[in-house]
């Protein structure tokens, strides 16, 4: 076997799913008074059900009503495609936008360093601005990254 000491295989579905399962995702993206909370209610419900079912090891997510309501073509999508579509639909037109070619500035910069931020752009972090380090630390703790890293003997010291 040709093992490398600095390469670890983690049991992670995909990058987009890591962000979907992040416990504070919706609270970060949307301020409490954000109109997107209502406009994207089906996507929010589908995200909740998808994460819940996969965390319970129920990989039969294609039969869950909220997911079917969100994605009428669910049978044509695998979990990576569904995760990418769902994450994009939740984050589009925000500083947290994620697509196959874009990772929004709000993920990779400290709060309010977003150069294209408009006067009416609001998010859930407006009253609790975080540094990029604090954001990454909270994503690590609030997703399966911490568990997956510990399974292969990696530890984040912060």
Model confidence pLDDT, tens digit, residues 3-55? 677 777 777 888 999 999 999 999 999 999 999 999 999 999 999 999 999 88
Per the CB < 8 A criterion, the answer to whether 126 and 31 are in contact is yes
Q: Is residue 1 part of a domain?
A: no
Q: Which residues, 6 or more positions from 12, have their beta carbon under 8 angstroms from its beta carbon?
A: 18, 144, 145, 148
Assigned domain for 55 exists: yes
Q: How many CB atoms within 10 Å of residue 106?
A: 25
158 SS3 class: coil
**Residue 115: inside a domain, yes or no?**
yes
CB 84 within 8 A of CB 16: yes
Strands (E) located in the chain: none
What pairs with residue 103 in β-bridges?
A: 98
- Give the pLDDT mean for 59-86: 90
Collapsing DSSP to helix, strand or coil, 148 comes out as helix
153: pLDDT strictly greater than 90 = no
Overall number of domains in the chain:
1
Read off the pLDDT of each residue in 119-133 and give the average, rounded to a whole number: 85
Residue 67 lies in domain: 15-151
Flag the least confident range among 45-54, 128-137, 140-149. 140-149
Looking at residue 59, what is its pLDDT? 77
The answer to the question of residue 66 being in a domain is yes
Average pLDDT in the chain: 87
pLDDT computed for residue 148 by the predictor = 81
């Amino acid at each position: 076997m040709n093992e490398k000491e600095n390469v670890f295989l983690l049991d992670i579905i995909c990058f987009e799913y890591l962000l979907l399962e992040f416990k504070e995702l919706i609270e970060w993206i949307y301020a409490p008074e954000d109109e997107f909370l209502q406009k994207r209610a089906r996507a929010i419900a589908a995200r909740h059900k998808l994460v819940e079912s996969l965390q319970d090891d129920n990989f039969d997510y294609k039969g869950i009503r909220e997911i079917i309501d969100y994605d009428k073509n669910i049978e044509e999508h695998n979990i990576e495609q569904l995760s990418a579509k769902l994450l994009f639909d939740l984050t589009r037109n925000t500083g947290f936008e994620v697509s196959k070619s874009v990772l929004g500035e709000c993920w990779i910069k400290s709060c309010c360093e977003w150069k294209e931020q408009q006067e009416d752009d609001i998010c859930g972090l407006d009253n609790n601005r975080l540094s990029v380090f604090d954001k990454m630390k909270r994503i690590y703790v609030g997703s399966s990254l911490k568990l997956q890293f510990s399974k292969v003997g990696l530890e984040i010291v912060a």
